[in-house]
Structure 1
Amino acid sequence: MSLFERLKADAPAAWSAYVSHDFVKQLGDGDLPLSAFKTYLVQDYLFLIQYSRAYALAVYKSPTVDDMKVSLDGLNGIFSEMGLHLELCEGWGLSRADIEAAPELNQTMAYTRFVLEAGMAGDLLDLQTALAPCVVGYAEIGAALSAQTGDLIEKNPYRRWIEEYASEGYQDLARAFGAWMDRTADVYLTEQRYERLQQTFEKATWLEADFWQMGLDAK
């Protein structure tokens, strides 16, 4: 079992609250209020700004040049993901300047600062563990929503978002991240340390669920 799968298996309540959240269900059904999605999307763009800093920190925390390259690839991937957000927001008349001027909501601040603190206080494995629910979780959610909607996705107003995270490119990225975690764990992980990693993973997962709820609360 990979480290990610072990961590997920040991946090069933948090993981279910995240991947089966009402926000996700409504997104897949296509009946999520647009106001909820727009709030989420703007906040997620602000989230990704801080997430890019976390990947920059991963470069610094990387023990090898190969790890540094993987971290840099992740940073470049985030910039591409930010482009998707801008593309969707521009369709609603929101410019990049509008988005970047928006205030960070409490849920955004709580999650991003938690990830950054985990990385600053620990090593690369601590940071990867805090990043994992987002990176790999979105791949799981995207694939599940794509399979659930099937041909009906053509009529789903959130089709572009679902297809992005269900895409082979993003699925490959998530698989690569999981493999990278395992390689790091081979160096750093001990059974005595696992409990701390599991706590970090579970907290980050609950913060993901809170992030969805932030969108729903904006209705």
Structure 2
Amino acid sequence: MTLSAQLWSENADLVADVLANPFVRGIGDGTLERELFAGYLAQDAFFLESFARAYALALARSDDTATLLAFADLLAGVREELGLHAGYAASWGIDMAGVKPAAATLAYTEFLLATAATGGLGVVCAAMTPCMRLYAHIGSTLDEASAGPYAQWVQTYADPGFEEVAALLERLLDRHGEDSPAVRDAYRRAMRLELAFFTAALTP
């Protein structure tokens, strides 16, 4: 079993908690209040900008061409995801300017940026992989047909292209990471922060 597969398996309890979270379930059955989804999108856009910066820091510290190009591809993927958020904002009339990050958002972004600035590439990949793998899993688990106004959101993360991006980051984790306490802790902390992010989105 690869390191990325092992870490995903070992954090199955938190994955289950995310899928059972009322916010995620509300997206899945289309009953989530529009106001809550709008607030989540604004927070997620703020988060994604920090995610992009973390990728950029990892790219700058890449010590081989293949890794550098892989992080460049991952960074481009975030740009596409931010474009999706901008499209939602325009069609739903959401003001994305001047977003004030919630405590859960800041906790996650500060963790990612600090890890990207000071940790080895393996630890950085371990901190960033849960977001990508978890969203791909959510997209493939939820039923687009029952998501109502959130069908496009589900479709985005269920798309094979997003799965490919998540798998690319996992390959980097397998290549640069090792089965160490630092890698394990970074992965699980990121997964906990994901759960906290969804929970915080339940508050207007």
Verify same fold: TM over 0.5.
Answer: yes
Q: How far 1:117 moved relative to its partner?
A: 1.1
Q: Deviations over 1:152-173 (max 9, x none)?
A: 45xx110110000001111111
Task: State the match for 1:120 in structure 2.
Answer: 117
Give unpaired runs (5+ residues) of structure 1: none
Q: How far 1:183 moved relative to its partner?
A: 1.9
60-69 or 174-183, which moves further after superposition?
174-183
Percent identity between matched residues is 31
The SS at the match of 1:75 is helix
Task: State the match for 1:91 in structure 2.
Answer: 91
Task: State the match for 2:41 in structure 1.
Answer: 41
The SS at the match of 2:28 is helix
TM-score (norm 2): 0.94
Alignment length (residue pairs): 204
2:99 is aligned, of 75, 97, 102, to 102
Q: Distance in 1 between matches of 2:184 and 2:28?
A: 29
Task: State the match for 2:174 in structure 1.
Answer: 182
Q: Distance in 2 between matches of 1:64 and 1:150?
A: 40
What CA RMSD, in Å, does the superposition of the two structures yield over aligned residues? 1.5
Task: State the match for 2:158 in structure 1.
Answer: 166
Task: State the match for 1:137 in structure 2.
Answer: 134
Task: State the match for 1:204 in structure 2.
Answer: 190
TM-score (norm 1): 0.88
Q: How far 1:122 moved relative to its partner?
A: 1.1
Paired residue type of 1:49: E
Q: Deviations over 1:91-141 (max 9, x none)?
A: 1223xxx41311111111110110111122211111100001101110011
Native 8 Å contact 1:46 1:100 kept in 2? no
Q: How far 1:13 moved relative to its partner?
A: 2.9
Q: Distance in 1 between matches of 2:102 and 2:40?
A: 10
Q: Deviations over 1:66-100 (max 9, x none)?
A: 11111111111101100000101111223xxx413
The SS at the match of 2:201 is helix
